[in-house]
Amino acid sequence: MNIFSRKKLLLGFLTIIFIFSVYLSYLNINTKEIAVLSSQTTSVSLDLPKNCKIENESEDLKVNGTTSSKSDVEDNKIEVYSSSAGEYKLKAKLFGIIPINNYNINVIPNTKLYPSGQLVGVSMNTKGAIAVQFQSFIDISGNEVCPAKDAGIKTGDIIVEIGDSKVYNADEVIEQLNKIDHKEIEVVIKRENVEQTVTVKPVKAKDDNKYKIGLWVRDSVAGIGTLTCYNDKLNRFVALGHSINDVDTGIIMPVKNGDLIESELISIVKGKRNNPGELRGVLKADNKDIIGSIELNNDFGIYGDVTKKVNSSSSPMEIALQDKIKEGDAQILTTIDNEGPKLFDIKIKKTYKQTKKNTKSMLIEVTDKELLSKTGGIVQGMSGSPIIQNGKIVGAVTHVFVTDPTKGYGIYIEWLLEDLLT
């Protein structure tokens, strides 16, 4: 073999290695997520070419009835089963050799939940004080200044420490700043869950001769929403179906502590095109009216422990994952008067195949004449209302269309279970 042929062979070999490396990288990026219920055999469609085998490395997951390391794919489907909740990994290989796809099989506890639909109040305190607004002022030299902004603080930052002192609320922030006077001080802030330190130098204001940094902070929030469901064995609840965000900065408010409180509906603002409606209620103030303690606020709802027996108009229900949800008739359980939650008719217009958590899992439309007459469709405060189809909980209401209040989105119940059942 001459030198030219060897170089050509080497170049071809390197090209194959490069293509294969890019291919493997593609596979790692496109690992597919599949959710199934525990203690239930589930048929899973894989969308694979012929002559593929599934490689299984776990003894706790059965594929096609066996824990064998390799199983055949028949009619582009496999059957999976596990009695143990958890995440299991499968690999699809062409001819049992060439990697095609990776799968994460997320086995969700097959549990029953009590659907609620009860209108509840939310009272929540944050971890630290949230910077919500800058306030420039005139210093004793006649200059307009804002020391907090100049130091690099941004709205949405959470102040957790001033000097050597931890601060947990707005009052403590003010107390520490009043001690500083003209001295430079290090302030620890948390931005996108990363702590960093900035140096702030207070400036004396002309109007009152007090040292200021020009910053408004907030440490609490209160509002109205709907309790989705709860698990009576773990005494855990989930509500809202989406996060509680600061009204000024838009950040998800980090929970220090909070209460889920019984509330009384006082009026309904009917939803209209380009004018969202609203359930208006008041929080009951007595300690006996506290339903639960809030421990978590994330993109998909608020979670916590039930501290008193929750009134439920329904028996516990099974859940259905997204592959079992059908477009067509369904119901939402929600509260529009002080007689408690009632079922109202809707249609699931479209479901979206999802492998990652998302608050917009299905498109829904209100069809119930009574609900349309009283609220115009979906209104603020209804978020979290459980969606029920064929006697199973399939999700919760999350959003309303501003241009059409009869329509909105719901989240799949499977996206709420991880934080509900742990």
- The catalytic residues are 242, 368, 383
Spatial separation of the C-alpha atoms in residues 86 and 5, rounded to whole Å? 53
Q: What is the enclosing helix (H) or strand (E) of 259?
A: strand 255-269
Those residues whose C-beta lies under 8 Å from the C-beta of residue 230, and which sit 6 or more positions away, are 113, 114, 116, 236, 237, 238, 306, 310
Q: Which long-range contacts (CB under 8 A, 24 or more apart) does 283-290 make?
A: 283/121, 283/123, 283/222, 283/224, 284/121, 289/261, 289/262, 290/259, 290/260, 290/261, 290/262
Query: Could you tell me the two tokens for 340?
Result: 């408690």
Say which amino acid occupies 253.
Answer: M
Dihedral in degrees, nearest 10, Cα atoms 363, 367, 368, 370: 110
Spatial separation of the C-alpha atoms in residues 19 and 168, rounded to whole Å? 54
Question: Mind giving me the DSSP string for 360-394?
Answer: --EEEEE--HHHHHHHSS--BT-TTPEEEETTEEE
Spatial separation of the C-alpha atoms in residues 383 and 138, rounded to whole Å? 44
Is the Cβ–Cβ distance between 280 and 268 less than 8 Å?
yes
Spatial separation of the C-alpha atoms in residues 339 and 290, rounded to whole Å? 19
Spatial separation of the C-alpha atoms in residues 417 and 422, rounded to whole Å? 8
The structure tokens 């071809």 sit at 12
Is the Cβ–Cβ distance between 145 and 214 less than 8 Å?
yes
Is the Cβ–Cβ distance between 157 and 189 less than 8 Å?
yes
Is the Cβ–Cβ distance between 293 and 259 less than 8 Å?
yes
Is the Cβ–Cβ distance between 369 and 376 less than 8 Å?
no
